[in-house]
Amino acid sequence: MPKRNMKNLFFRSLRSQQIAATILAIALFVTVISLVLNEGAKKSVTLQANGEQIEVKTHAHTVGHLLSEQEIDVSEKDLVVPSVNTPIEEGLSIRWEQAKKITIDDGKNKTAVWTTDRQVDDILAKAKVKVSEHDKISPALSQRVGDDNNISIERAFTVMLNDGGKEKQVWSTSTTVADFLKRENIQLNEHDRLNRKAEGMVKPGSIVEIVRVEKVTDVVEEPTNFAVVTQKDSKLLKGREKVVHSGKKGKVERKFEIVKENGKEVSRKLIAEKELSKPQDKVVSVGTRVLVANASSSKGVSVSRDNASSGGKEFYVTATAYTAHCNGCTGKTATGLDLRANPNLKVIAVDPSVIPLGSKVWVEGYGYAVAGDTGGAIKGNRIDLHVPTKSDAYNFGKRKVKIKVID
């Protein structure tokens, strides 16, 4: 090929390459300009999706279109603010909260509610579920619902609690007695009793009674009685007694185990006894001497005075008369004299605290006699004179007389 032709061919090839490069540069420039212009046409918005916030540049015309671009599937129960039909404007803030299905377990019933609320009290309000201050709610009203999307409600009911005799009405959500006591922070001691088993069920209107049992030891000192020993004394008239030695009580220490229920003693058991001092017997002499009364056919009845002096204590008494054959009488005196066998004996009934039995006395208008009898109506300064017949008793009547106690 001629050199001229080869030269022309080279220049043509070079020119083609220059044209191609120019076209490529122009295309690249146009692309860059297009990208710049396209990016500049986007609008900046703030998107808060389920609590996470991002900045987004978009050509979307509406909020719904933007959410679709972000691959967010919006349901009718979701919260979108502003609404999906709102036009996109520069600087717009968009909030999307996805609704969740919350299950409310009310013991007997379960309720499902779709909501974007997360706090328990808001969810229950939306579901129109009412609760009282005594109900047990989990999670608590002021807390957010957990990942399991469940709310549990234990309905409270009233239980009558009798703790150691003190009654009060208590609100409870417990199912067993043991759980009820635990929630009420009630501790049982070793001997305390429940009116029902700890594993027993607690229902509305149940009565939980606790008997508080306390065992204590009590040590007391107590007196012990002395014995009364009697001995016969022939020098004393029958019916008279004389204390030879005064008795003295002993002392014993006793230890008791006491059981109290609700603060009241219900049992006392003697568990130990120790004698601190022995009792001393009381010795009493009892008279056995019997009065001897003599009757004289010419002078009537006389009483042996054992040469007693005529002196003695004098005072006035009210006197009446009786016979051995009165109604209810046996004829035997308190000192053992038989008046029916000896109707002429001079005997008077006295109050032994005023005139000792067996005393020899002189009675105005009656003479010497012995205080040998007593009577239910004979009290204080009053005496009753024994006479042989009822007519003698009626004739004597009732009168004031002087009496002298000789011995």
Q: pLDDT tens, 131-155?
A: 989 989 999 999 999 889 899 998 9
In this structure, the answer to whether residues 294 and 370 fall within a common structural domain is yes
Nearest alpha carbon to residue 176 among 153, 151, 193, 159: 159
Question: 400 and 338, same structural domain?
Answer: yes
Question: How far is residue 297 from each of residues 294, 301, 302, 344, measured CA to CA in Å?
Answer: 10, 8, 10, 10
**Residues 6 or more apart in contact with residue 21 via CB below 8 angstroms:** none
pLDDT tens-place values along the chain, 407 residues long: 555 556 565 556 666 677 777 777 776 765 655 554 445 568 899 998 888 898 888 988 898 898 888 888 888 888 898 888 899 888 898 988 888 889 999 877 888 889 888 899 998 998 888 998 998 999 999 999 988 989 999 899 999 999 999 999 999 988 899 999 999 899 999 899 998 888 889 988 899 999 999 999 999 999 999 898 888 888 777 767 888 888 899 999 999 999 999 999 999 999 999 999 999 999 988 888 765 554 433 333 344 444 334 457 899 999 999 998 887 788 889 888 889 889 889 999 999 999 999 889 999 999 999 999 998 889 999 999 999 998 898 889 999 999 999 87
Same domain? For 317 and 395 the reply is yes
Question: What is the rounded (10 degree) CA torsion for 191, 195, 201, 204?
Answer: -130
For the chain, how many residues are written? 407
Domain extent for 165:
157-211
Both 326 and 400 in one domain: the answer is yes
Alpha helices per DSSP H over 158-300: 177-183
Last residue of a domain, one of 97, 121, 140: 97
pLDDT of residue 19: 74
- Does residue 133 sit in the same domain as residue 108? yes
Q: Are residues 83 and 22 in the same domain?
A: no
Same domain for 235 and 141:
no
Count the neighbouring beta carbons within 10 Å of the beta carbon of residue 142: 9
The neighbour count for residue 262, using CB atoms within 10 Å, is: 15
Amino acid, res. 19: I
Give the pLDDT of residue 297.
35
pLDDT of residue 33: 56
Q: Say whether 105 sits in a helix, a strand or coil.
A: strand
Query: What are the DSSP E strand ranges found in 20-61?
Result: 43-49, 52-58
From CA 341, how far away is CA 240, in angstroms rounded?
23
Distance CA 174, CA 202 (A): 7
Q: Are residues 400 and 305 in the same domain?
A: yes
State both tokens at 8. 């022309």
Question: Rounded to two decimals, what is the model's pTM?
Answer: 0.48
385 and 328 in one domain?
yes
CA dist 386 and 324 (Å) reads: 7
Q: What is the pLDDT of residues 6-18, one digit of tens each?
A: 656 555 666 667 7
Domain at 259, CATH number = 2.20.230.10
Closest to 131 (Cα-Cα) out of 179, 173, 182, 180: 173
Q: How many folded domains does the chain comprise?
A: 6
Of 184, 231, 402, nearest to 314 by C-alpha is 402
First vs last C-alpha separation in the chain: 199
Are residue 239 and residue 297 in the same domain, yes or no?
Answer: no
